[in-house]
């Protein structure tokens, strides 16, 4: 039933490790996104995928790489994790040109120690 | 690019009072203004939105107003309840279909 589901919900890892976060949506939306929410609750867009093509890539370090096997999935892979990567990461989806807002997942709290 | 300012950052009210959160935007091309509610430990959830061809929209206890000339829009919650306690985000969206979010308002409703 979950519209946008992401796993895992919590991720604790050491500096230098590589990790992935998975996201799936069953809404039939054509665009998926990754957002980073810092400790002050600011939502910053990282990536957007429309029909499996990257259409936006804000100034995110190239250690972060989105991978979309199909339009229902958008995974986030992070190499060489740093302390500053600790945050909550949200996946979201929308039907891009219809302006009906986003549906967000429940978030992945990443803690780098 | 678009810049969205949101105030206040924290709002504390007594149950039953009204709450108002205000946002301003900079890009006159923005035409869609959603509001999201984020409860503790959850993702933001769309609660109401307004488009540039409408001045006001209401859904039960929540309403949103838009003043295109002044480039500001507001969220109004009447008869607040403890379950309204959350962080609320405004956003403005234009031709890029990527919203610019405000920095959020933490609403605390005291029983």
Predicted pLDDT at A97: 75
pLDDT in tens, B24-42: 999 999 999 999 999 999 9
Predicted pLDDT at A107: 97
How far from A52 is each of A32, A43, A47, B32, CA to CA, in Å?
9, 23, 12, 25
A6: confidence class by pLDDT, cuts 50, 70, 90: very high
Please judge whether A42 and B104 are an interchain contact, meaning their C-beta atoms are less than 8 angstroms apart: yes
Residues A87, A36: Cα–Cα separation, whole Å: 7
Please judge whether B104 and A102 are an interchain contact, meaning their C-beta atoms are less than 8 angstroms apart: no
Residue B75 has pLDDT above 80, yes or no: yes
Mutate to test the interface with A, among B2, B10, B43 (most CBs of A within 10 A): B43
How far from A49 is each of A55, A109, B18, B94, CA to CA, in Å?
6, 22, 39, 18
Residue B103, number of CB atoms within 10 A of its CB: 17
Chain B residue numbers touching A45 (CB-CB < 8 A):
98
Task: Choose the closest CB to A42 out of B36, B45, B103.
Answer: B103
């Amino acid at each position: 039933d979950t519209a946008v589901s992401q796993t895992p919900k919590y991720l604790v890892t050491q500096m230098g490790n590589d990790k992935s976060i998975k996201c799936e949506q069953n809404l039939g939306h054509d665009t998926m996104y990754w957002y980073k929410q810092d400790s002050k609750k600011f939502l910053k867009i990282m990536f957007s995928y429309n029909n499996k093509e990257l259409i936006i890539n804000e100034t995110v370090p190239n250690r972060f790489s989105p991978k979309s096997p199909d339009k229902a999935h958008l995974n986030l892979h992070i190499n060489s994790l740093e302390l500053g990567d600790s945050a909550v990461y949200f996946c979201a989806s929308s039907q891009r040109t219809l302006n009906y807002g986003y549906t967000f997942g429940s978030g992945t709290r990443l803690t780098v120690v | 690019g678009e810049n969205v300012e949101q105030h206040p950052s924290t709002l504390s009210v007594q149950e039953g009072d009204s709450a108002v959160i205000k946002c301003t935007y900079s890009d006159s091309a923005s035409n869609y203004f959603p509001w999201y509610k984020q409860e503790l430990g959850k993702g933001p959830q769309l609660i109401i939105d307004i488009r540039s061809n409408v001045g006001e929209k209401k859904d039960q206890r929540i309403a949103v107003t838009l003043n295109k000339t002044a480039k500001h829009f507001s969220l109004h919650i009447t008869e607040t309840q403890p379950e309204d306690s959350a962080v609320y985000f405004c956003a403005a969206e234009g031709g890029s279909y990527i919203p610019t979010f405000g920095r959020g308002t933490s609403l605390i409703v005291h029983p």
